A and B are shown apart, each in its own frame.
Chain A
Amino acid sequence: MTAPKRTPLFDAHVASGAKMVDFAGWEMPIHYGSQLKEHEIVRSDAGMFDVSHMTVVDITGSDAKVWLQKLIANDVAKLGFEGKALYSGMLNEQGGVVDDLIVYLTATGYRMVINAGTTEKDLAWMDKQSAGFDVKLQVRRDLAMLAVQGPTAIAKVCSVKPELADAIQALKVFQGLPSGDWFFARTGYTGEDGLEIMIPADQAITFFDELKAAGVAPIGLGARDTLRLEAGMNLYGHDMDETVSPLEAGMGWTIAWTEGRDFIGRAALEAQKAAGVAMKQVGLVLEGRGVLREGQKVVVDGAEGIITSGTFSPTLKHSIAIARVPAATGATAQVDLRGTLTEVRVVKMPFVRNGKKVFE
């Protein structure tokens, strides 16, 4: 056992009263008192999440673009200007998801943000796939990362960084602004407006304290999970992994099928499409009592699916889940809820966007 790692913001979490837990080998805040209150703050005001445990990788070299076009299923050719962001899966030859990630176009190449729990595996995979390409990977452990999310998040960041306010306010969704060693991107994992901000590690606590003074509440990983689930966003290792096709995990829209583009996993995905994709990802809604949980069995006309993430939705005040179900699933399904088959509604995700219920 190695001791859990600490982000540059560790002391700020402890000073803010966080309950710290081990998450993917990192000592991270699960909540600072109440997960439900933190969730509501992000839906109605502004909160900040330490996401420094995620890994930033800068990619340079003359082959960076063609290499990324092979490595990931979405196409970095779509990145038209510096700071633009793209969400993608990185697939294996069998078409399973090695990781999901965001990649930005930078002045010198590309910047990728990968999951904490998959970092070692991803770096080994990327290293292996780089044979024969002129690419250089640099892991940026010198950066901390804070996600500031909520309807007032951007205004509050601007109040702390007045010199950058105009440029930050001009950012469109999935667009980023480099500023020295800092990087402000209008992305997130909550279904609210906001920014994900990369910060030189030695300036992270000062920035955290300034945001706190500006009325941005620290938010733990607990609320991060309920927020992303309401937003219908996948969590790696739960909603998909190396054994799950992106076509069965709601990630079809992230695959760039441009003719002649040969990304890893393409042949496997084309074979799946030709044979007919057996499962699909849907949202489940339980309006009665009880909470849908990961791993519970979904029954549809005698066939089976599985809940990949489930929770109580603090915004909707009932339970919601992400599930992988037979492709023919219609408007309802049954879930084995602690031994009782319970009827649930099948809906198109997301569940919540910008503080409001969005499914029918």
Chain B
Amino acid sequence: MSNIPAELKYVSSHEWLRLEADGSVTVGITEHAQELLGDIVFVELPAVGANLAADEQAGVVESVKAASDVYAPIAGEILEVNAELEANPELANSEPYAAGWFFKIKPANAADLDGLLDAAAYAAEIGA
């Protein structure tokens, strides 16, 4: 049974989003996503300052088993990437909602978050 924190937002491509106090949004991949991928061995993160459209490719996560694209769940500018994750990709397996975060994005439009999945809707989507 996957852990799906109630306070986060989700998209069906298995990224989670957390709205921070300063208005930025932290993005990572869900516990379900890391379970599907298995042991993660490389991550490629977007360039800081890049302006991405919603659903635009923001990076790659490679596990022993497969390579998978990571998408920007909302449009915005990349403010920061998790350098510790690049050095220790297994953090996305062990702490997908904490130390395993991928990047922080400044939403082009704060209201974009409202249309995303809540925990219950994401759980339904993955059949959890």
Give the interface of A toward B (CB within 8 A).
Answer: 31, 34-36, 222, 226, 289-291, 293, 311-312, 314, 338
Complex Cα gap A290–B44 (Å)? 9
Which residue of the partner chain A has the closest CB to B90? A36
Which residue of the partner chain A has the closest CB to B38? A35
Q: Are B39 and A36 in contact (CB under 8 A)?
A: yes
Q: Are B67 and A226 in contact (CB under 8 A)?
A: no
Select one of A36, A289, A290 contacting B64, CB under 8 A: A36
In the complex, chain B residues 55-93 whose Cβ is within 8 Å of any chain A Cβ: 60, 62-67, 90, 93
Q: Are B39 and A291 in contact (CB under 8 A)?
A: no
Select one of B42, B64, B67 contacting A222, CB under 8 A: B64
Q: Are B38 and A222 in contact (CB under 8 A)?
A: yes
Select one of B42, B60, B64, B67 contacting A314, CB under 8 A: B64
Q: Are A34 and B67 in contact (CB under 8 A)?
A: no
Shortest distance between the CB of B18 and any CB in chain A (Å): 26
The residues of A that contact B39 with a CB separation of less than 8 Å are 34-36
State whether the Cβ of B41 lies closer than 8 Å to any Cβ in chain A: yes
The residues of A that contact B38 with a CB separation of less than 8 Å are 31, 35, 222
Complex Cα gap A289–B42 (Å)? 7
Q: Are B67 and A311 in contact (CB under 8 A)?
A: no
Given contacts A222-B64, A291-B41, A312-B63, 10 further A-B contacts (CB under 8 A): A35-B65, A222-B38, A226-B64, A289-B44, A291-B62, A293-B66, A293-B67, A311-B64, A312-B64, A338-B67
Complex Cα gap A338–B62 (Å)? 12
Select one of A36, A290, A293 contacting B42, CB under 8 A: A290
The residues of A that contact B63 with a CB separation of less than 8 Å are 312
Complex Cα gap A35–B41 (Å)? 12
Complex Cα gap A314–B64 (Å)? 9
Contact-size category for B: 10 to 19
Shortest distance between the CB of B103 and any CB in chain A (Å): 17
Q: Are A35 and B62 in contact (CB under 8 A)?
A: no
Q: How many A-B residue pairs have CB under 8 A?
A: 35
Complex Cα gap A293–B66 (Å)? 8
Shortest distance between the CB of A22 and any CB in chain B (Å): 15
Complex Cα gap A210–B60 (Å)? 43
Complex Cα gap A217–B18 (Å)? 39
Which residue of the partner chain B has the closest CB to A314? B64
Q: Are B67 and A312 in contact (CB under 8 A)?
A: no
The residues of B that contact A34 with a CB separation of less than 8 Å are 39, 93
Q: Are B67 and A35 in contact (CB under 8 A)?
A: no
The residues of B that contact A222 with a CB separation of less than 8 Å are 38, 64-65
Complex Cα gap A314–B41 (Å)? 9
The residues of A that contact B62 with a CB separation of less than 8 Å are 290-291, 312
Which residue of the partner chain B has the closest CB to A293? B67
Complex Cα gap A290–B42 (Å)? 7
The residues of B that contact A36 with a CB separation of less than 8 Å are 39, 41, 64, 90
The residues of A that contact B41 with a CB separation of less than 8 Å are 36, 291, 312
Complex Cα gap A341–B24 (Å)? 36
The residues of A that contact B64 with a CB separation of less than 8 Å are 35-36, 222, 226, 291, 311-312, 314
The residues of B that contact A290 with a CB separation of less than 8 Å are 42, 62
20 CB < 8 A contacts A-B: A34-B39, A35-B38, A35-B64, A35-B65, A36-B39, A36-B41, A36-B64, A36-B90, A222-B38, A226-B64, A290-B42, A291-B41, A291-B42, A291-B67, A293-B66, A293-B67, A312-B63, A312-B64, A338-B60, A338-B67
Which residue of the partner chain A has the closest CB to B62? A291
Which residue of the partner chain A has the closest CB to B42? A289
Shortest distance between the CB of B52 and any CB in chain A (Å): 18
Which residue of the partner chain A has the closest CB to B43? A289
Shortest distance between the CB of B1 and any CB in chain A (Å): 14
Shortest distance between the CB of B36 and any CB in chain A (Å): 11
Complex Cα gap A34–B62 (Å)? 15
Which residue of the partner chain A has the closest CB to B39? A36
The residues of B that contact A338 with a CB separation of less than 8 Å are 60, 67
Shortest distance between the CB of B45 and any CB in chain A (Å): 11
- Pick the most buried of B42, B44, B64, B67: most chain A CB atoms within 10 A of its CB: B64
Complex Cα gap A222–B63 (Å)? 12
In the complex, chain B residues 2-56 whose Cβ is within 8 Å of any chain A Cβ: 38-39, 41-42, 44
The residues of A that contact B42 with a CB separation of less than 8 Å are 289-291, 312
Shortest distance between the CB of B88 and any CB in chain A (Å): 12
The residues of A that contact B90 with a CB separation of less than 8 Å are 36
Complex Cα gap A227–B93 (Å)? 21
Complex Cα gap A338–B65 (Å)? 15
